[in-house]
A = this chain, B = another copy of it.
Amino acid sequence: METPTATPPPGTTLGGMTSLDAATSPVLATAQRSRTAAAAIAPLPRSAKDTALLAIADALEARTAEIIAANAVDTDKARAAGTSETVIDRLTLTAERVAAIASDVRDVAALPDPVGEVVRGNTLPNGIDLRQIRVPLGVVGIIYEARPNVTVDAAALCLKSGNAVLLRGSSSAYSSNTALVAILRDAVESAGLPADAIQLVPGESRDSVRELMRARGLVDVLIPRGGASLIKTVVEESTVPVIETGTGNCHVYVDAQADLDMAVDILINSKAQRPSVCNSAETLLVHRDIADAFLPRALDALADAGVTVHGDARVLAAAEGGKVTALPATDEDWAAEYLSYDIAAGVVDSLDDAVTHIRRWTSGHTEAIVTTSQAAARRFTQLVDSTTVAVNASTRFTDGGQFGFGAEIGISTQKLHARGPMGLPELTSTKYIVTGDGHVR
């Protein structure tokens, strides 16, 4: 008689991939251990995962001094290499920041468990019970830049969704990430889960990234988080399925009929509230019928916010004699994700021309329309093909936190699997359970 036990069988690779590769590559050997851990944590109930998450939060607080010391190695190295203070600031961990990271982990523990959710379920005409349920993806690889808080965030979200995570941070944060992952692994193990549920990709070289991108069959998905060039490399070179994230060339379009005060507010908030993030606006498009009334106010407000305008001929004409710094826009400006106090700006002859411009230049992240016309709002939302279309709202709302997801692993700008802010459900797949009483066809 079969006696089910509490321990799952050892995880093995799909489709008969041999362990030969793993024997010769430390990266693949690590991925193989992630795969084994993934099989062990996939069926765990919420309580087991939450216990581990709370252990992580406690350990981060208890071992803050260790984290700060390891972080100092990275920041010292960065300073010696002449890295800019902005980048060093993003790299720096303080006691306060570690406490905030620990608090985020507790927030993740408080979120509902996506695994096991019945997405679809019914009884078929022949009496079979069909259920589609959420299951973990398996092994999630994250390739990310500078900020070491991503190490903990990503590990927490993957653990909560029953996935093993394989982390490949920036070499500039290697010491911080090594210390953080050691603490996370200790905590996970103390909670009775396999430490290998959280692993760092070994090695600081580019080769280790390349091997990770070729670990098809061992890694289920790669999520690059960072600048456009990192994401482009991963998308082009990976044979592991990729979820593209984050590049944001977002547009604000002010329609022929618009509340001018609202339009200025939304423009300035979208551009200047936090220019360094992907959901900030990079291009302003204005309908010609409202350009004379709107542009002088908009350009003044942009000047007050410290924004430089890269305008087309009509925008430059409107800027003349005003206080805003205005330069001629090139194709590079229309394509740019500035992430700075710069904005491209142009006048369009119609809403459809605005849509055509957006479809040509957008990265597909977020586009906003400001309008009082119901017909224009409807047409713009229908025709714009981006993760998010905002009507009379700032582009800055495209965010897992703002959307009420409670957490975010990134913002997908692709169409497959997940589009827009990704929360815990986006870190799952599904499987069908077919239950019969001896049913055959």
- Residues on B with beta carbons closer than 8 Å to the beta carbon of A243: 416
A243 to B241, CA, bound (A): 10
Shortest A245–chain B CB gap in Å is: 14
A349 to chain B, nearest CB (A): 10
Q: Which 6 A-B pairs have the closest CB atoms?
A: A393-B436, A269-B440, A415-B429, A262-B438, A417-B417, A9-B352
Give the complex CA separation of A390 and B439 in angstroms: 10
Contact A4 B351 (CB under 8 A): yes
A334 in the interface (beta carbon within 8 A): yes
Q: Which of B4, B331, B373, B403 contacts A16 (CB 8 A)?
A: B331
Confirm or deny: A287 has a beta carbon within 8 angstroms of a beta carbon on chain B.
yes
In the complex, which residues 334-366 of chain A have their Cβ closer than 8 Å to any Cβ of chain B? 334-335, 350-353, 355-356, 359-364
A238: min CB distance to chain B, Å? 10
Cβ < 8 Å to B, chain A residues 1-50: 1-5, 8-16, 39, 42-43
**Min C-beta distance of A28 to chain B, whole Å:** 17
- List residues of chain B with CB within 8 A of the CB of A334: 16
> A318 interface residue, CB < 8 Å from B?
no
A261 to B256, CA, bound (A): 74
Q: For the complex, give the distance between the alpha carbons of A417 and B430 in Å.
A: 9
Beta-carbon contact of A14 and B362 below 8 Å: yes
Q: Complex formed: what's the CA distance from A130 to B130 in Å? A: 31
Contact among B402, B433, B438 with A265 in the assembled complex (CB-CB below 8 Å): B438
CB distance from A418 to the nearest CB of B (A): 8
Q: Are B404 and A364 in contact (CB under 8 A)?
A: no
Q: Is the CB of B404 within 8 A of A124?
A: yes
Asked if A378 is at the interface of the complex by the 8 Å CB criterion, the answer is: yes
List A residues at the B interface (Cβ < 8 Å). Answer: 1-5, 8-16, 39, 42-43, 122, 124-125, 128, 130, 132, 135, 137-138, 216, 220-221, 235-236, 239, 241, 243, 255-257, 259, 261-262, 265-266, 269-270, 273, 287, 289, 331, 334-335, 350-353, 355-356, 359-364, 371, 373, 375-379, 381-383, 385-394, 396-398, 402-404, 414-417, 419-420, 429-441
The contact of A420 among B5, B235, B432, by CB within 8 Å, is: B432
Q: Is the CB of B432 within 8 A of A14?
A: no
Complex Cα–Cα for A80 and B412 (A) = 51
- Assess whether B15 is in contact with A257, with CB atoms less than 8 Å apart: no
The answer for the CA separation of A152 and B384 in the assembled complex, in Å, is 29
Q: Which residues of B contact A289 (CB under 8 A)?
A: 1-2
Q: Which residues on B sit within 8 Å (CB–CB) of A4?
A: 351, 375-376, 378-379
Which residue in B12, B371, B396 is a CB contact (below 8 Å) of A441?
B396
Smallest Cβ-Cβ distance to A243: which chain B residue: B416
A404 to B127, CA, bound (A): 12
CB distance B402 to A124 under 8 Å? yes
Which residue of chain B has its CB nearest to the CB of A350? B2
Complex alpha-carbon distance, A239 and B414, angstroms: 13
B351 near A2: Cβ-Cβ < 8 Å? yes
Residue of B nearest to A331 (CB): B16
